[in-house]
Structure 1
Amino acid sequence: MEKEVQIKHIRDYVFTLFQADESGHDYFHMERVARISRKIAEVEQANVFLCEAAAWLHDVGDKKLFHNPNEAIEEMNTFLCDISLNKIQINEINHIISGISFSKGIAVPDTLEGRIVQDADRLDAIGAIGIARTFAFGGANQQLMYHPNSKSTSIQHFYDKLLTLKDLMHTESAREMAKERHQYMESFLKQFFQEW
């Protein structure tokens, strides 16, 4: 099976899993991460297919999104086998997606492809889209937008995570893209607190 056909099957599979997500981890998040991963992979001369495939699948098995993460991973691996990916490719995809989560505290994935997908995922967490996703996630999880005496708010998430991401990018391509997005978040927060 041609790689483009396999990517189409992966895209369709991801649509069935994430089409109804309301937390900011929807199909369109996966699409953006896949697009950014492909772009960076081409510049960085990485394995474009692996980056794009792993980017589409990077949230499969995330404990925030799945009641049974291990079962979700097993089903994904069966699906990848069914569309003729070999065991090496499946293992590499699993390795990439297991090492990109911010919450797991894995600072630097050990492959270029892993670093690229992590960069792409982090890029989608910042800037205008990142702001929108932060409040979508907060709303879906009954989190306050902001409260001066609470550390468990959507605004606090900017300080706990989002404003740190610019300096955690691994590739030069991602570092360049992150600058403008980071500045946009800083401007947003300044305006937010002026209005508050």
Structure 2
Amino acid sequence: MLTASTAYAADNAFFGWYGVSAHGRLDKLSPALENFSWSVLNQARFSHHAQEKFANNSNRLAEYLLFIQFNYHFNDQLHVGLGYTRDWLDTFNENRAYEEIGWQSEPFEWGRLMTRTRLEQRVHDNAKNRNVGWRVRELVQWSYPLPGLPRVALVLNDEVMWYLNSSRWRSDGFAENRVFGGFNFRILPDIQLTMGYLNQFVRKETSKQSQLNHALFTNLDFSF
């Protein structure tokens, strides 16, 4: 876990990340697509702290994202995926293509492990700033069903991000770390709710600056 230290003068901010997602298999369209799946995520990120440039508005929509992804499954544990993200922010918008490979273990008494490696190509909407930022994201997650609560699982994960090149986004190297701790609730067989705390550490343009964000994370997921 990366946190602010004397090496970084960190600014603290408070957010709410609220998402709705859905996923399903494509074999319902054709038996030939039995190894393929799709997923969609719609997420709104609200800022809950005052900023001078926004007239000290402490509750405002800071970012809105739409993720669309298609996967090929080698088996129940390993998949590769292609996706696209549209990101609307305060001062600009972004188009982001990505590729990923994901793996999850079999469920054991001690829980289940999951890893995901994603390579992103980030493009600024501004025509004058269309150089591509290549970013790698590495996620490791552990989930553990709580004894006596078969529909509730403890979820812990950590995601590290770094750039492979210098671009208008920032210089190459480490960029961000996200640590999450929370719970997954299986409301119905095909509906799950994930809630918890997200700590987001962001390196700004210079090594002496950083941003430490504290976020309430919620996501309602539907399976089809």
The TM-score, its normalising length taken from structure 2, stands at: 0.25
Higher CA-based Rg: 2
Q: Give the structure, 1 or 2, with the largest relative contact order (CA under 8 Å, sep 6 or more).
A: 1
Structure ranking higher in helix proportion = 1
Structure ranking higher in strand proportion = 2
The TM-score, its normalising length taken from structure 1, stands at: 0.27
